[in-house]
Amino acid sequence: MIQRLVSMLCLPAAFALPLHAQEAPAQQTPAQEVVPAQEVAPTQEVAPTQEVAPTQEAPAAQAPTQVAPAQEQPADDVAEANEIPADLLDEAHMREELGVNEFTAPSISKLFDTLQFLMPLPLVETERVMPDRMPLDRADLAIELGFLIANGFLVVQAEQLDKVETLAADLTRYGKALGAGNRVNRHAASLLDSAKKPDVAQLKKELAATQRDVEAELVSLKDADLAHLISMGGWIRALEVSTVAVDKQFSEERARKVMREDIADYYTESIAGLEPRISERPNYLAMRDLLAGLRSEMTLQDGQAPTPEMMREIREKAAQLAGLALQRKQ
């Protein structure tokens, strides 16, 4: 009995031990679970806060705002610039990467597209030979280069290919003086090759490319005025020859090819937009007045037809315009 009682009294102690032994692991389990809690995945995930991607993206977001002014500039230039008649834009200017900008000037090649309707051309009567000595002023160089390129189209249109060699030499001299010698040299060599074949279509392409390449060089030099002066020189020369051609063999249809008040208006405003050192020269002030007069004379009212008298007056003004354009700065 006594032994039984003793064993019964000892039972709780026996059970207590295993209970404590089992509880210990139960207490260790949370202690081991602290490890995941200490893994502080969230606290190590502070990396997202260090990623600062948003804060670094802020400058990137500003980049567009910096680009915006650069993209708006051409638009402002176009808004301020005088509008070029659409049929005078060379195909290269229609390319997306160039667009119409302050350096874009009417293509001399396009100006001469109408000459095929005005044959025969009075080249002997209207011949102009450039002086051996080139001008020192860059504005004079530019407008005379326009005359030279126009002479090239006249020579090619009349198929007087024996004059191409002299033309190529003159183009090379003027291109070099304007800082576009390498570009013009390539075209001058191609002009000579095409004249020997003879390849009239290629000659016209090379002359058009000469203007484009000189214009591209002026774009890099940020000199828009010279690009417009080259084009204006070409148009004045074309106008001089075409008005003589129409005056000598008049017809209403031929006269309408010459009476382009939109072109006269464009160059009137172009002169006004030149730098004052150019636009305020006496010959340029006189040219602007003449162009404004031509614009009025070339504007036909509804139902009005051109007359020989109109063409005679336009011819006289065109000759005066050419003389003023070739007056060099003293």
Q: Whole-angstrom Cα distance, residue 226 to residue 211?
A: 11
Q: Is residue 79 part of a domain?
A: no
What average pLDDT does the segment 30-57 reach? 42
Looking at per-residue pLDDT, the higher value among 84 and 91 belongs to: 84
Report the percent of the chain where pLDDT is more than 70. Answer: 67
Q: How confident is the model at residue 72 (pLDDT cuts 50, 70, 90)?
A: very low
Q: Is residue 12 part of a domain?
A: no
Q: Is residue 195 part of a domain?
A: yes
Q: Is residue 214 part of a domain?
A: yes
65 pLDDT above the threshold of 70:
no
Q: Are 86 and 201 in contact (CB under 8 A)?
A: no
Q: Whole-angstrom Cα distance, residue 211 to residue 192?
A: 17
Q: What does the pLDDT look like over 268-278, one tens digit per residue? A: 999 999 999 99
Enclosing domain of residue 278 = 88-325
Q: Is residue 240 part of a domain?
A: yes
The pLDDT score that the predictor gives to residue 34 is 39
Q: What does the pLDDT look like over 202-213, one tens digit per residue? A: 888 888 888 887
Which helix (H) or strand (E) segment is 183 a member of? Answer: helix 181-196
The pLDDT score that the predictor gives to residue 222 is 73
The dihedral built from the CA positions of residue 200, 131, 176 and 147, taken in this order, carries a sign that is negative
Q: Is residue 185 part of a domain?
A: yes
Q: Is residue 129 part of a domain?
A: yes
Q: Is residue 51 part of a domain?
A: no
Q: Among residues 96, 186, 200, 120, which one has the least CA distance to residue 153?
A: 200
Burial class for 42, CB neighbours closer than 10 Å (0-12, 13-18, 19+)? exposed
Ramachandran category for residue 246: left, alpha or beta (phi over 0 → left; psi -120 to 50 → alpha): alpha
Q: How confident is the model at residue 250 (pLDDT cuts 50, 70, 90)?
A: very high
Which helix (H) or strand (E) segment is 22 a member of? Answer: helix 2-38
Q: Are 122 and 245 in contact (CB under 8 A)?
A: yes
The pLDDT score that the predictor gives to residue 9 is 41
Burial class for 38, CB neighbours closer than 10 Å (0-12, 13-18, 19+)? exposed
How many domains does the structure of the chain reveal? 1
Q: How confident is the model at residue 174 (pLDDT cuts 50, 70, 90)?
A: very high
The pLDDT score that the predictor gives to residue 217 is 76
